[in-house]
Structure 1
Amino acid sequence: MARRVEQKAAARERIAAQLAAQQAAERRRRLLLAVGAVVLVVVIVGGLITIRLAGGGKKTATGASGSADASLVTALSSIPDSTFNAVGAEGVQAAPSAITAPPLTANGKPKVLYIGAEFCPYCAAERWPVTVALSRFGTFSNLGTTHSSGSDVFPNTATLSFHGATYTSQYVAFTGVETTTNEQVGNGYKPLDTPTAEDQKTFDTYNKPPYVSSDGSIPFVDLGGKFVSSGATYSPQILAGKTQTEIADALKDPSSPIAKSVIASANVYTAAICKLTNNQPAKVCSTEAVTAAAAKLGTGKS
């Protein structure tokens, strides 16, 4: 009887030992799996970082990076008259043309209408002088920063975005329409802003010969129904490889190629806007540069 009890006790001890061994093995297996998962994540993340740093993979543009910081907006709105005067309008390759059309207005003020797209390198170039010119008459809020498509000509041209931006001025109204992002979807780009029926009609009516040289090009700018511009007024190549901050910094130097192009175009846009505001404010419209730039405005078309 005692021997049988001893045998049962020994059996229980063997079973307990086996269970303990199985549990220990299971803990080791789980630990190894957890460590393996962590190592795998580290390897993947490290690989992605290496690719990013090495510039691997196809270079493509991404969406707008958000609102332009205050220093960038300040730089564009605080260019001194001396810089505008030093640059003049010689760097402009194509100026807005005068047209005969009904006045384009909003809230009782002459309206500047811009229609473009974030993927477009020519739009990327033209937003700079449009913004600089309008900043002489009012204030932008919520300007975005983005760049043109990485797979188009002049790839990844650094620029601003009018998507979601607002503009306040006692002299002139502004509508900025960005019809698509720079993110490719199939053979096109992801839709963004939709023009109003009225703005679309303006685009369809005046963005073609004889008002402009080509049919349906962007960017399209209508200044109060008195002037229109289609395409860029200078080459986007001027901005190649520059960041938004570098472009804004270059505007401080009137001898820089960027200033000679951007500010020259801004002077011409300013001259056109002054025609809409009856030369108000005088401190802007009576400057040497604006007076000279007015001569660059194209002849009337109807």
Structure 2
Amino acid sequence: MRKVAFIFPGQGSQYVGMGKDFYEAFPESKQVFEEANECLKMNIRDICFQGRDEELIRTENTQPAILATSIAMMKALEKEGIDCEFTAGLSLGEYTALVKSEGVGFRDALWLVRVRGKLMQEAVPEGIGGMAAILGLSREKMLMAIEKVKDHNIVEVANYNSPEQIVISGEKEGIQLACQEAIKLGAKKAVPLPVSAPFHSSLLKPAGERLKEELDKVKLWDLNKNLVSNVDGKPVTCKEEIKEKLVNQVSSSVLWQDSIEFMMKEGVNTFIEIGPGKTLTSFVKRIGKSIDKPVETFNVNSIETLKKTIDSFGKEVTN
């Protein structure tokens, strides 16, 4: 029997044209984009469908654009009777998971992630910070590499994505030195990421504090799904926890691997990645393999992948 988790992507998964096929095919999806336009007083729909790359990759645009696209795709899936017991999202994707869990309203989530994007962008002057993906190095060795360079530079782990990938964040010079140390310790690759700020590092603590002020203005609710938090890889149990975890998430490591392992140990055997891209699916497969847990994975990022997912659920779907 399937035990299902919906998982949602974060920043970096965006591309021009995302969600357009859903907008044209499903009234429920169309309504999501129309509501986003109205709520944000901007044409987020056109930014997603036909905007310029440089417009879409501005953090304050990217975050609400991905959230709206993911929710629009999810609405089409839910229409077919497919639901989940657990949910989680990578960084920004945690807000989409929170909407799915009914812990926050869609309109409030849109407004929050737009503000969050601006605060994260403004927290560190451009050119000061950076990030890099380290491939094929254990957590222990990655922390050893950071230890060697941390006296002169801020370098921290931003994401534990899978057994094969760790992302580091901090000051640019420190990132370069940590990459060199990681290669010396056996990393297969160290890839600088094209980002505008050192996300999920202590350099963004001021952004988290300012986000707290914005969260105080928003109504939060107890969740109706098991939402697994980026901050500790454990379920959020009540609405009082939501605010603290979202504030900490801005400057804390994203424990994605831990979150997926927790769900697998709770019996989740089917993961549906909903939203642009398919990176999370590849992480899930690697994590499952590393702890010897067989899993099924699906993507819902196009009409074609939506149909494949619906077909595979077959008679289990109740219309």
Q: TM-score, normalised by structure 1?
A: 0.26
Q: Specify which structure has the higher proportion of strand.
A: 1
Q: Specify which structure has the higher proportion of helix.
A: 2
Higher alpha-carbon Rg = 1
